[in-house]
Structure 1
Amino acid sequence: MDRKRFAMIAATAMSLAFVVVVLAGFKLLPPVPVLALDNLAQLTAGTAGTLCCLWSARGRHGSDRKWRLIMGIGWGIWTLGQIVWTWYHVVLRAQPPQPSLADVGYLAMTVFVLVALLVFSDHRQPGSVVLPMDRRLTRARVVLVLDGLIVVGSLFILTWTTVMESMVRATSPSPLAFAVAIAYPLIDIVLLVIVVMLATIRLVGRRLPLAFIGMGMITLFISDCVFAYLISAGVKEIPALANFGYITAPVLFALAALAPASSVPVAMYAAPPRRADGRLPVVEWVHVLMPYLPLVLTGSLILVRTAFGSAPGPLEIYLGLVVIALVVVRQLVTLVENMWLLDRIRQSQRQLEHQAFHDSLTGLANRVLFRDRLDHAIHLGARRGHPVTLLFADLDDFKIVNDGLGHAAGDALLRAIADRLRSCVRSTDTVARLGGDEFGILLDEAERADKIAERLLEALRVPFVICGEQHLVRASIGLVHADPQERGLTADVLLGRADIAMYSAKRHGKGTLVTYEPALGVTPSVVAPRLAGSTPA
C-alpha cells in the first residue's frame, strides 16, 4: 500500500472514530442510542482491528507476518470479550459483574500484544542466517520486559503511596475487582515502556507502524486508568467518554498493521547519530535512564515520608523488594551481554591482527610479518651468535595453470602448495607468501637448511590435481646463510641475496636449489628495492 492511499484510509478511519466518540461521549443522542452506539462502536473497532491485522499479514514473511498475525489474534480475543460486555449492556441492560468473562478477553489481548512487540523488534530479513551478533536479540527482548516491569512496579508504589491507598480504604472495592481493574493500566505501562524503548533503538523501516502502536497504547492506557480509578472509587457505571480509548485503540492498531514500511534494505537497528562533540545523544540517555528514573523518584518519596514518620506498609515493602530484584536481574543480563560483547571485540581484534599479518588466500605469513620476523632473527642472532638462514622459492610453471585454467584454479594451486611447504618445516619456522608465486621460509636452525630445501623440492615433484587434472609445478629455490654480526646486514639485503640465488637456480634449470655466494656477481642492493615494493598477486 502506498503512503498516499494509506493517509486517506487513516484520515477516514480516525474521523469516523472521532465522530463516534463525540456523539457518545458528549451525549448528543438519547441515552439508549448512546449506549448502543458506544458499545457497538467498540465492537466494530475491535473487529476492524482484528481483520486488518490478519489481512495485512497476507503476502508478508518473517517477523513482518508474525507480529501482525499475533496482534490480530489478540484483538480477536479482545473482540470476544467486547461481545460479552455488549451483551450485558445492550441486550440485558445490566452492568456486567466485576470481574467478568469480558475481562479475560481484554487482558488476554495485552499478552498477545506483548508477544507481538517482542517479535516486532526482530528486523532481520526473511531467510537470513542467524549470526552470533543476532543472538543479542533474545537478551534485548528480556531487557525490554524487565524495563517495563521495573517502571510498572515503581509507578505502582508511587501511585499507591500518594493516592490509591487512601481511596481504596475509603471505598473498599472487591479485592478481585480492584486487582483486575488495576491490572489494565499496569500492563499498559509495560507495553508503553517497550514501545518507547523500541523507538529509542530506532527500528529503521518500522517507525510508522511503531508510532501507531504507541498512539494506540496511549489512548488505551488513558481509558484503562479512568476505568481503574472509577472501579476503585466504587462507581458502578462507566461514562461513555471514558471509553474513547476502546474505540480509537483498535483503529490505531489496525492502521499500524496497514502502515507501509520502508522498502529499502536496512540493518536490524540503526544507531542514533553521534553529536559533533562525541557525547551521547538525548535518545541514548532516554534509553539508558528510563527504567531507573521512576525507581529513583519512588525511592526518594518513600525516604521523605519515612523521615517524617510515615513508614511504608507491607505492600510497598514487598513490592519494593520485587522491583529491586528485577533491577538486579536486569543488571546481570546487561553484565552478561557486556562480557559477550567484550569477547566479540577480542575475537575481532585477533581476526584483524591475523588478517594484517597473514595472506588471505593461503593463510601463510605475509610480507609484513615475514620482514618483521626476519629483522627479529637478525637481531637475535647477533646477540646469540646464531646464523640466519633464509629460503626463497619461485614457482616455475605456475603461469601455465593460472593462465590456462583461470584464476580460481591458480588460487587452488597456491593453497595446495602452501600446505605442502608447511608440511616440510617445523612449527618454529616461518613460511610466507611474498608475492604472486613467491614464497619465503625463515628457518629456526641453520644446520637443517639443505635437508629442508631438498624436502621442499621432493614435495613439489609430486603432481597436483587441479580441476580433475594432474599438473606438475616445481620451484627454483635460493638459499642464504648469513652471519647476523655482518656489518650492514638487513632484511632487504638477505631478501636480495635470496633473490639472486633463486634466479641463478632458474638459469640452472627448473626445480633446482642454489646457495648464495658473493661470486654470483650481482649486488643485492639492486634487487632489494624490487622485493620491498612488490605486491602479492
Structure 2
Amino acid sequence: MVDSLKTRVRIVLAIVVVIVLISSSGLLDVRHSVMLDDVSQLVGGVVATAACWWTARSRLGAERRWRILMGAGMFGWSIGMVFWGLYRTVFDSPLPSPSIADIGFFVFPVFAAPALLTLVISQRVRPRGSTRMWAFAILDGSVIVGSLFVLSWTTALGALAHSPPESSLGFLVAVMYPITDLVLVGIVLILAVIPKVVARFRAQLWLLLAGMVALALSDSAYAYLVAAGGNTVSPLADAGYIAGPPLIALAASVPASRTRLGVRSTATWRSRRTQLLVPYVLILVIASIVGLQWLTVGNVDTVVVVIGVLVLALSLIRQVLTLLENEALLRRIFDAQSELTYRAHFDGLTGLANRVSFDEHLSAAIEVFTRTGNPYVLMLADLDDFKTINDRYGHAAGDKALKLVSERLAAASGAHAHVARFGGDEFVVLVDSTADHAGEIVFRIVDAVSGTLDVDGQHMSTGVCVGVVEFGSVMGEPTPDALLRLADRAMYEAKRDGKGRAFLYRADHTFEALVPPEHQGSRGTNPNIVAGEPEPARLMAPPTRT
C-alpha cells in the first residue's frame, strides 16, 4: 500500500509538472494557456470533492466527518474556480480580484479547519499525563504558528502591509489568503506533533500538509502580485493550485492506521520523532529566512525579529521541559529495572533470595573452592509437617508462617551466610566455613525454627530437618547438582531419624548426626513420628525444582 501511494503521488506531481511546462512553454497562445491552467485547477477541485465524499460513505466516526467537511470545502473552492475561469477566459480579466470567485475560495478554509480539528477531537486522551501532553502541544503549536507567520510575512504579508492598497476591499481579500493558509498549515503541523493523532493518521496528515502548503504557496504568490500591482498570474505561480486538490484527494483515499491495543507500532515511534523534530525544523527555516533577508536587503524587518525572538524563547522553554521529562523518564526506567532485578533474584513471599540467585552464588562458591580450596558447606532445610499447617489453618496462614520461619532461619544462619527459599517449604543455606563451624549454625537453625509460631492469634508449631554437605565430600570436582543431591540425601536421612534432626553427609558415604535426639524432646514436635520415606528418585537425582 505504501509503494502504491508513493506511485500515485509521483503521478500527480508528474502531471502538474507537465501542465505547468506546457502552459509556460509558449506552445499555446495566452488564451489557451490560461484555459489549460484553469481547467486543470477545476478538475483537481472536482476530483478532490468527489474523492472526499465518496470515501466518506464507507468510513465511520472522525474519518467520515473530516472527509465530509473537507469535501464541502473543496466543493466551494471548485465553485470559486468556475467563476475564476469565467473571469479570466470569458470576461478577459487576467487578475479578477476582488470578485465573486473569492467567496467560493474562502469557503474552503471555513470547512477545512473544522475538518482538521475533527482528527484531534476524536482522540481520547488519558487523564494521566494529559496536562503534560497539552502543555507540549501548546508550546509546539506556538512555535509552529510563529514560524509560519514569519514565513508568511517575509513572502506575502509583509509586502501587503507595506504597500499602499488601491482598494481596501481588494487589500483585505488579498491579505486573507495567506492568513487562512497560515491557519490551515499551522493546524496540520500542530496535529503532526500530537503522537496519538499522527500515529493513526500519519499518511493522511502528510498528504493534507502537502496539499495545504501547495495551495498556500500559490496564494502567497497571488497576494504578492496584488501587492506589487501585477495584472497577470504566471502558470508557475498557479502550480500549487493544480497540485493541492489532487493531494487532498489522495489523503481522502488513504485509510487510517489500525494499531492493536497495547502494541507499539513503528508509526507510533515515528510520530514521537516527528513531534520532536517539527518545531526545530521550523526554527531552522526562520533562521534561514532572517539570514537571507539580511544578506539581500541589508536589514531585518522588526516584525520578523520580534516574532523570531519569541519563537526562540518558546523553543528554549520546550527544550528545558523535554530535558526534565527525559530525566523523569530515566528515573522511572531505573526504578523499574531495579524492581525487576529484585523480583528476579528474591522470593516475593519471604524476601529471601530465590532459586536463580542461589544458583548464581552456589556456582561462584564452587569456582572459588576449586581454585583456592576455601571450605564451603551447603545446607538443605525442609520444614516438618508444614502441610498440616496449610490444611488446618489455610494457605494464608501458611504464608505468614513461612515468613516467620524465614526470618528465624536467616537470623540463625548469621550475617555471612547466603539463605534462599528453594521452593515450597524448603530452604538452602550456603556457609563459608568448615563442617565443624557449620554444626553450630545448624544447631541454631533447628533451635530457632522448631518453636511455636504466633499467626493471627493462632499458636502453631513446626520443626525443621537439615541435610548438610561439605564441598570437599564430593568425589571429583563438585557440581551444583551433586551437592544438592547429597544434601537432599542427608536431609531425608534426618527425616527418617525423626523431626528437628540434622545429618552431615561424609566423604565415606555415611551420615553423622549434628543434632542429638534428646535436644528435640522439648521443642513441640514428636521425634518418634517419622516424616515418611523419601522417594527413590530423590536419592538418585537432584531434588525436583519448583
TM-score with structure 2 length normalisation? 0.58
Partners in 1 of 2:130 and 2:501 — Cα distance?
A: 55
Following TM superposition, by how much is the alpha carbon of 1:55 offset from its aligned partner in structure 2, in angstroms?
2.9
Provide Cα deviations, 1:261-290, integer angstroms capped at 9, x if missing partner.
7889773336999xxxxxxxx999976952
Match of 1:422 in 2: 403
* 1:210-263 deviation per Cα after TM superposition (whole angstroms, max 9, x unaligned): 664454344323323323323333457767875553454333223223236788
Question: In 2 relative to 1, CA 73–360 (structure 1 residues): closer, same or farther, beyond 3 Å?
Answer: farther
Determine whether 1:297 maps to 2:288.
Answer: yes
The corresponding residue for 2:381 is: 392
Q: Are the counterparts in 2 of residues 68 and 116 from structure 1 also a CA contact under 8 Å?
A: no
The 1:389/1:349 distance shift into structure 2, 3 A limit, reads same
In structure 2, what is the equivalent of residue 357 of structure 1?
Answer: 345
Equivalent residue in structure 1 for 2:265, among 268, 293, 299? 268
Please point out which of 395, 399, 421 is paired with 1:433: 421
Alpha-carbon separation, structure 2, partners of 1:455 and 1:334:
58
Distance 1:36 1:423, change over 3 A: same
1:331 maps to 2:319: yes
2:473 corresponding residue in structure 1: none
Q: CA deviation at 1:335?
A: 2.4
Judging changes above 3 Å, is the alpha-carbon distance between structure 1 residues 141 and 49 closer, same or farther for their aligned structure 2 residues? farther
Q: Which of 499, 513, 517 is matched with 2:500 structurally?
A: 513
Aligned with 1:434: secondary structure?
strand
Q: 8-17 or 331-340: which moved more?
A: 8-17
The equivalent residue for 1:348 is 336
Contact 2:48-2:74 at 8 Å conserved across structures: yes
Are residues 1:181 and 2:177 paired?
Answer: yes
Unpaired runs of 5+ in structure 2? 366-376, 412-417, 432-440, 471-479, 514-538
1:233 equivalent in structure 2: 228
Alpha carbons of 1:105 and 1:393: their partners in 2 closer, same or farther (altered >3 Å)?
A: farther
Q: 1:391 to 1:231 in 2, by over 3 A?
A: farther
**1:107 matched residue in structure 2:** 109
Aligned pairs (5 A) from 1:112-191: 112=114, 114-115=116-117, 145=141, 148-149=144-145, 151-156=147-152, 159=154, 165=158, 168-172=161-165, 174=168, 176-177=172-173, 179-187=175-183, 190=186
Structure-2 change in CA distance of 1:189 and 1:41 (3 Å)? same
Larger radius of gyration: 2
Change in 2 beyond 3 A, CA 1:294/1:219: closer
Q: 1:315 aligns with which of 303, 312, 319?
A: 303
Q: CA deviation at 1:47?
A: 2.1
SS of 2:264's equivalent in the other structure is coil
The verdict on how the C-alpha distance between 1:248 and 1:295 changes in structure 2, with shifts beyond 3 A counting, is: closer
Shift of 1:442: 9.9
CA distance in 2, matches of 1:286, 1:494: 59
Higher relative contact order (CA 8 A, sep 6+): 1
SS of equivalent to 1:229: helix
Q: Contact 2:450 / 2:464 at 8 angstroms: preserved in 1?
A: no
Distance (whole Å) between structure 2 residues aligned to residue 179 and residue 56 of structure 1:
38
Structure 1 141/100 Cα, relative in aligned 2: closer, same or farther at 3 Å? same
Contact between 1:154 and 1:323, CA under 8 Å: does it hold in 2?
no
Partner of 2:511, secondary structure, is: coil
Is the counterpart of residue 522 in structure 1 residue 511 in structure 2? yes
User: Does the CA contact (< 8 Å) of 2:347 and 2:353 recur in 1?
Assistant: yes
- Contact 1:212 1:252 (8 Å CA) reproduced: yes
| CA distance in 1 between partners of 2:278 and 2:193 (Å) | 6
Counterpart of 1:259 in structure 2 is 254
Verify the 8 A CA contact 2:62 2:118 in the aligned structure 1.
Answer: yes
In 2, Cα distance between the equivalents of 1:112 and 1:292? 27
Contact kept, 8 Å, 2:45 with 2:78, in 1: the verdict is yes
Q: Identify the match of residue 222 of structure 1 among 217, 220, 224.
A: 217
Q: CA deviation at 1:51?
A: 0.7
CA drift of 1:204 comes to 8.3
Query: Distance between the aligned counterparts of 1:84 and 1:421, measured in 2?
Result: 83
Q: Structure 1 residue 336: deviation in Å?
A: 3.6
Q: Say how many residue pairs are matched.
A: 460
- Give the residue type in structure 1 aligned to 2:177: A
Trace 1:36-75 onto structure 2 (pairs within 5 A).
37=39, 41=43, 43-58=45-60, 66-67=62-63, 69-75=65-71
Tell me, yes or no, if the aligned pair for 1:78 and 1:108 is still in contact at 8 Å: no
Distance 1:56 1:148 in 2: 34
Give the drift of 1:327.
1.1
Percent identity between matched residues is 24
Distance 2:176 2:62 in 1: 29
Q: Is the 8 A contact 1:181 1:228 kept in 2?
A: yes
Q: Judging changes above 3 Å, is the alpha-carbon distance between structure 1 residues 285 and 359 closer, same or farther for their aligned structure 2 residues?
A: same
**Compared CA separation, residues 5 and 289, structure 1 to 2 (3 A):** closer
Using the TM superposition, give the Cα deviation of residue 155 of structure 1 relative to its aligned residue in structure 2, in angstroms.
Answer: 3.3
1:367 matches 2:360:
no
Q: Which residue of 1 aligns with 2:244?
A: 249
Once the two structures are superposed, residues 484-520 of structure 1 have per-residue CA deviations (whole angstroms, 9 ceiling, x without a partner) of: xxxxxxxx999899757642443246xx432567999
SS state at 2:501 partner:
strand
- Counterparts of 2:34 and 2:145, CA distance in 1: 41
Contact 1:392-1:498 within 8 A present in 2 as well: no
The match for 1:469 is none
The answer to whether the Cα contact below 8 Å between 1:392 and 1:479 also exists between their aligned partners in 2 is yes
Structure 1 unpaired stretches of 5+: 59-64, 274-281, 377-387, 402-411, 463-471, 483-491, 525-529
> What is the distance in 2 between the residues matched to 1:363 and 1:66?
51
TM-score by length of structure 1 reads 0.59
